Every structure is written in structure tokens, then in C-alpha cells.
Amino acid sequence: MDINKKYIIIFGTLVLLLVIITGGIVYYKERVSLVGQDEYFSAPIPEDKEYEIWCYDYDGQWKDCIERATFWPNQLVSISVNLRRFDNIPYEPYFLCYYSDLEKEFGETKSCISRYSLLRSFNLIGSVPESKDPFVLIKLTVYPNNNFEKTEEITIMDLSGKLIK
């Protein structure tokens, strides 16, 4: 009876070790593929435009996609907004809210930040959703205070894209 328990414990330990090693290998491969895609790329802040859109293409390079309206599913996209170019905002200070269907690392789709004169640019990076067509690349809205009333909302940017099928 003691011999059977000993073999069961050894067998269970080996199975657990195999699961841990397999999980580590899968995790390492995922991280290497993401690092190869340069997921921490940040689009340069445009000086003369309101925004820039950069896409990570299958040839392994970031390319300017400001003229594109269609994107591959799971394609990495980086959007940079020059907030100084939006001079028609009647509120100062204001709350800037952004919404995007791009799948981000933390899973947030809508966030709001207080905007004082120090905030001059905004960057967003994420991957194109597989199943939502059309999807919102970025939607920027402003509010005069943190009540976020729909009647006081001003949309300053609303960009959408379509999936390449």
C-alpha cells in the first residue's frame, strides 16, 4: 500500500511539472511574438495635423495608415492625437474621454482624463477586433466637468474602420 502512494505522488508531481513547463513555453512564445511586433511602438506626435495613424504590417514594419479605412483583424494600430490642434473646445479645463474598439492590453474601452493646459498629446495602441465591423478606431469627446452629461458632450474626433475580409 505504501509503495502505491509513493508512485502516485511521484506520478502526480511529474504531471504537475509537465503542465508548468508546457505553460512556460507557451507563455514565452507569446511574449517573443509580441516583442517581435514591437508592441510598445508609439506613433510620433504630429505637429501640423490633428492625428496620425500607424499600422504594423505583415512585413514587420510600422507604416503610416492615415489614408486607410480598412484593416486586417488583429493588426496592431497606433494612434497619436495632437490636442493642440483642437482649438474649438469651449471648455477650459475639461474632461477628455476616449473610446476605442481596439483591443488593448488592459481591456479598457472607454476612459476619461482631466485635461488642463499641460496635456498636449494623446497616444493609443491596440489590435483591430476580429468580429466587429465596422469598428471605432478612436472617438474623443469632451465634457466641462466630471458629471459627464450627454447634453454637454462635444465630439471632437470620431474615426472608424472596416475589416479586410
Q: Are 143 and 111 in contact (CB under 8 A)?
A: no
Question: CA quadruple 42, 48, 53, 54: dihedral positive or negative?
Answer: negative
Nearby residues of 138 by Cβ (< 8 Å), 6 or more positions away: 51, 79, 81, 98, 99, 100, 102, 124, 157, 158, 159
Q: Are 71 and 164 in contact (CB under 8 A)?
A: yes
Residue 30's pLDDT is 64
Domain residue limits, the chain: 51-163
* Model-wide pTM > 0.85: no
Mean pLDDT (whole number) for 51-66 = 83
Which residue did the predictor score with more confidence, 44 or 64?
A: 64
Residue 1's pLDDT is 54
Mean pLDDT (whole number) for 91-108 = 74
Q: Are 33 and 39 in contact (CB under 8 A)?
A: no
Which has the closest alpha carbon to 117: 153, 92, 144? 92
Residue 143 pLDDT > 80, yes or no? yes
Q: How far apart are CA 102 and CA 9, in angstroms?
A: 46
Model confidence at 31, pLDDT cuts 50, 70, 90, reads low
Question: What's the one-letter identity of residue 9?
Answer: I
Mean pLDDT (whole number) for 52-80 = 84
Mean pLDDT (whole number) for 43-61 = 79
Q: How far apart are CA 161 and CA 65, in angstroms?
A: 11
How far is it between the farthest Cα atoms of the chain?
A: 82
Q: Other C-beta atoms within 10 Å of 31: how many?
A: 11
Mean pLDDT (whole number) for 125-145 = 84
Model confidence at 35, pLDDT cuts 50, 70, 90, reads very low
**Domain at 51-163, CATH from 3.30.70, 2.60.40, 2.40.160, 2.30.40:** 2.60.40
